[in-house]
Amino acid sequence: MKYFLEDLSDEQWKYNMERYWAAFEKIKRKLPSNVAEILSSKFLHDSEILAFVFQKESEGNKFRYDLQIKIKNEMFEGSIVHRDVVDYQNTYNNPLKDRFLCEYLYGEVYYEQGLWIHNVRYTLENELMIRCKKIEWVSA
């Protein structure tokens, strides 16, 4: 995470939130409009994450990996699809203690050196970082 760091005071959190949304406004036009809408939706917070799906896609003798985050809430259901993943890190601690697989608490998306970076904080101790070439939204 760049902006939504742990252990920030309320004042620092609000300041970083303003900085993040200002940065997101500058890059959101590079995203498909439905992706930008979902990622900036207030309904994304506390969405239930139904699955993380890591999938190998072949194109001739080349291949790529895609990662889907399947989510649902009262307003929408679908997948945030990360195409051509080049880096992936996940901390996943004790999923059995929660009622759901997990909840999408908050996330950051930014664009650096031709790659999308999507950081997701889910449940309290878990964080996912994905670097990919493209992000899409697929409705269920």
Number of domains in the chain: 1
Higher pLDDT, 130 or 7: 130
Is residue 98, in this structure, part of any structural domain at all? yes
Is residue 125, in this structure, part of any structural domain at all? yes
Is residue 116, in this structure, part of any structural domain at all? yes
What's the pLDDT tens digit per position in 52-104? 999 998 888 899 999 999 999 989 999 999 999 999 999 877 666 656 567 88
Q: In this prediction, what percent of the chain has a pLDDT beyond 90? A: 65
Is residue 61, in this structure, part of any structural domain at all? yes
Is residue 22, in this structure, part of any structural domain at all? yes
How many C-alpha atoms does 20 have within 13 Å on its Cβ side?
20
* Domain that residue 45 falls in: 10-139
Is residue 96, in this structure, part of any structural domain at all? yes
Give the contacts of 73 (CB within 8 A, at least 6 positions apart).
43, 44, 46, 47, 48
Is residue 87, in this structure, part of any structural domain at all? yes
Is residue 2, in this structure, part of any structural domain at all? no
Q: What is the pLDDT of residue 97?
A: 63
Higher pLDDT, 125 or 44: 44
